[in-house]
Amino acid sequence: MTKQRLNLESPWPHRLAVLLVCATFPLIWVGGLVTTYDAGMAVPDWPSTFGYNLFAYPWQTWLFGPWDLFIEHGHRLLGALVGCIAIAFVCSVWRNDHRFGMRAAAFMALGLVIVQGALGGARVLLDERQLAMVHGCVGPAFFGYCVALAVITSSKWKPVERDVAKSSPQRLHRVAFLTVVFVYLQLVIGAQLRHVSVMASPGVFRAAVLFHLFMAVVVIFHVFQLLLIVKQHYGSVTPLQAPVTWLAALFLMQVALGCAAWVVKYGWPEFIAQYSFAAPHTIHAKSLFQSLVVTSHVAMGSLILAFSVTVLARAVRLVRMPTVALGSSAFILELAG
Amino acid sequence: MVMMSKWMWRLTPLCFRSHKNCPAADSGIPVLAMKNMSLCFPSSIRTLPLLGRVVFALWLAAVVGCTTKAEFSQNAVYILKQERELDAEFSDQQKRDLAEILAGMFGTPDAPNVPKLGDVEIAKVLDATHLHVASGPVSSDERGRARGLYREHCAHCHGVTGDGAGPTASFLNPYPRDYRMGVFKFKSTPEGGKPTHEDLKDILTNGIPGTAMPSFKVLPNNEIEALISYVRYLSIRGEVERELVYLTADLVKGERLLKMAGTGRSEQAASLREVAAGVVQKWIDADLQATPIAPPDADRDLAASIKHGRDLFYGPIANCVKCHGDSALGDGQKSDYDDWTKELEPTNEEALEQFLGLGRFILPPRNIHPRNLRQGVFRGGRRPIDLYRRIHNGIDGTPMPGSFVLKADAPAGTKGLTKDDIWSLVDYVRSLPYESISRPPVIEQAYQRERL
Record: contact A199-B70, CB cut-off 8 A = yes
Closest CA–CA distance from residue B216 to any residue of chain A (Å): 6
What confidence score (pLDDT) does residue A29 get?
79
DSSP A276: T
Q: What is the mean pLDDT of chain B?
A: 83
Give the SS3 label for residue A164.
strand
Measured CA to CA, the distance from residue B181 to residue B341 in angstroms comes to: 12
Cross-chain residue pair A192–B169, CB shorter than 8 Å: no
Specify which residues B197 forms β-bridges with: none
**What does the pLDDT read at residue A295?**
84
- Within 10 angstroms of residue B309's Cβ, the number of other Cβ atoms is 25
Q: Which of B37, B66, B70 is closest, CB to CB, to A203?
A: B37
**For residue A215, with 0-12 CB atoms within 10 Å meaning exposed, 13-18 middle and 19 or more buried, which class applies?**
buried
- pLDDT for residue B1: 33
Where residue A52 falls among pLDDT bands split at 50, 70, 90?
Answer: confident
Of A203, A281, A287, the CB nearest to B209: A281
Tell me the per-residue pLDDT of A239-254, one tens digit each, with 9 for 90 and over.
889 999 999 999 999 9
Residue B436 has pLDDT above 60, yes or no: yes
B299-317 pLDDT, tens digit each = 999 999 999 999 999 999 9
Distance from CA of B202 to the nearest CA of A (A): 14
d(CA B424, CA A223): 60
Give the chain A residue nearest B51 (alpha carbons): A181
Contact A192 B216 (CB under 8 A): no
Cβ distance A200 to B167 less than 8 Å, yes or no, reads: yes
> Any idea where the domains of chain A sit in the sequence?
1-155, 159-337
Contacts of B172 in chain A (CB under 8 A): 266-267
The C-alpha angle with vertex B363 and arms to B362 and B368, in degrees rounded to 5, equals: 140
Which chain A residues touch B173 with a CB distance below 8 Å? 270, 273
Do B32 and A192 count as a contact with CB atoms less than 8 A apart?
no
| Distances in whole angstroms, Cα of residue B164 to Cα of each of A104, A157, A196 | 52, 56, 16
- The answer to whether residue A65 neighbours chain B at the CB level (below 8 Å) is yes
A62 or A159, which is more confident: A62
Residue B448 has a pLDDT of 47
The answer, for A44 touching chain B at a CB cutoff of 8 Å, is yes
Nearest CA in chain B to A200: B167
SS3 at position A82: helix
Q: Does the distance separating the beta carbons of A283 and B213 come in below 8 Å?
A: yes
Task: Please check whether residue B142 is in contact with residue A58, taking contact to mean a CB–CB distance below 8 angstroms.
Answer: no
Q: Is the pLDDT of residue B373 over 80?
A: yes
- Quick: pLDDT tens for B78-92: 999 999 998 888 989
* A274 in reach of chain B (CB within 8 A): yes
| Contact call for B215 and A285, based on CB within 8 A | yes
Determine the average pLDDT of the residues in B247-267.
77
Out of B39, B71, B144, closest to residue A66 by CB: B144
Average pLDDT over residues B52-63: 56
Closest partner CB to A284 (pick from B144, B173, B215): B215
A43: CB partners within 8 A, 6+ apart: A49, A50, A69, A72, A73, A76, A124, B142
Q: How far is A41 from chain B (nearest CA, A)?
A: 5
CB contacts, 8 Å: B53 with chain A: none
pLDDT at residue number A1? 39
Q: Which residue of A has its CA nearest to B136?
A: A198
pLDDT-derived band at B451, boundaries 50, 70, 90: very low
Q: Does A51 touch chain B (CB under 8 A)?
A: no
**pLDDT at residue number A274:** 86
The secondary structure element, H or E, covering residue A142 is helix A129-153
- How many cross-chain Cβ pairs, A to B, lie less than 8 Å apart? 190
What pLDDT, on a 0 to 100 scale, did the predictor assign at position B45? 53
How far is residue A171's CA from residue A181's CA, in Å, rounded to a whole number?
15
**Residue A335, pLDDT score:** 52
Q: In the predicted model, what is the mean pLDDT of residues B254-272?
A: 77
Smallest Cα distance from B391 to chain A, Å:
20
* B412 Cβ contact partners less than 8 Å away, ≥ 6 residues apart: none
CB-nearest to B160 from A198, A269, A270 is A198
Q: Is A209 on the interface with B (CB under 8 A)?
A: yes
Give the residue-averaged pLDDT of B336-340. Answer: 96
- Whose CA is closest to A159, among A336, A8, A329? A8
Is the preceding omega at residue B174 within 30 degrees of 0, hence cis?
yes
Q: How close B445 comes to chain A (CA, Å)? A: 31
SS (H, E, C) chain B: CHHHHHHHHHCCCCCCCCHHHCCCCCCEEEEEEECCEEEEEEHHHHHCCHHHHHHHHHHHHHHHCCCCCCCCCCCHHHHHHHHHHHCCCCCHHHHHHHHHHHHHHHECCCCECCCCCCCCCHHHCCCHHHHHHHCCCCEECCCCCEECHHHHHCHHHHCCCCCCCCCCHHHCCCCCCCHHHCCCCCCCCCCCCCCCHHHHHHHHHHCCCCCCCCECCCCCHHHHHHHHHHHHHHHHHHHHHHHHHHHHHHCCCCCCCCCCCCCCHHHHHHHHHHHHHHHHHHHHHHCCCCCCCCCCCCCCCHHHHHHHHHHHHHCCCCCCHHHHCCCCCCCCCCCCCCHHHHCCCCCCHHHHHHHHCCCCCCCCCCCCCCCCCCCCCCCCCCCHHHHHHHHHHCCCCCCCCCCCECCCCCCCCCCCECHHHHHHHHHHHHHHHHCCCCCCCCCCHHHHHHHC
Q: In this complex, which of B146, B210, B212 lies closest to A280 when CB atoms are compared?
A: B210
Cβ–Cβ under 8 Å, residues B101 and B272: yes
Are the Cβ atoms of B172 and A274 closer than 8 angstroms? no
A130-149 as b/e, with b when 16 or more CB fall inside 10 Å?
bbbbbbbbbbbbbbbbbbbb
* Mean pLDDT, rounded, for B47-51: 60
Alpha-carbon span B97 to B92, nearest angstrom: 8
Question: What are the residues whose beta carbons fall under 8 Å from the beta carbon of B405, sequence distance 6 or more?
Answer: B392, B416, B417, B418, B419, B422
Percent of chain B with pLDDT over 90: 62
pLDDT score of A124? 80
Instruction: Identify the bridge partners of residue A284 per DSSP, sorted by sequence position.
Output: B215
A270 interfaces chain B, CB cutoff of 8 Å: yes
When mean pLDDT is compared across A66-75, A270-279, B333-342, the lowest value belongs to A66-75
Helix A169-195 and helix A12-36: axis angle, to 10°?
40
| Residue A210 at interface with chain B, using a CB cutoff of 8 Å | yes
ipTM confidence score: 0.81
Domains of chain B, CATH where assigned = 2-63 (no CATH), 76-286 (no CATH), 302-334+369-438 (1.10.760)
* Of the listed ranges A86-90, B218-222, B332-336, B409-413, the one predicted with least confidence: B409-413
* A272 near B CB under 8 A: no
Three-class SS state of A236: coil
Question: Which residue in chain B is spatially nearest to A284 when comparing CA positions?
Answer: B215
Contact A270 B218 (CB under 8 A): no
Cβ atoms B354, B397 nearer than 8 A = no
Contact yes or no for A192 and B64 at CB 8 A: yes
What is the pLDDT confidence band of residue B3, given thresholds at 50, 70 and 90? very low
A130–B66 CB contact, under 8 Å: yes
Minimum distance, in Å, between the CA of residue B262 and any CA atom of chain A: 39
Tell me the pLDDT band of B4, cut-offs 50, 70 and 90.
very low
A292 CB within 8 Å of a chain B CB: no
Taking CB atoms and an 8 Å cutoff, what residues of chain B touch A285?
A: 153, 207, 214-216, 218-219
Q: What is the mean pLDDT of residues B27-44?
A: 44
Amino acid letter at A72?
Answer: E
Enumerate residues 136 to 165 of chain A having a beta carbon within 8 A of any beta carbon in chain B: 137
Query: Measured between CB atoms, which of A192, A196, A284 is closest to B217?
Result: A284
d(CA B2, CA B49): 22
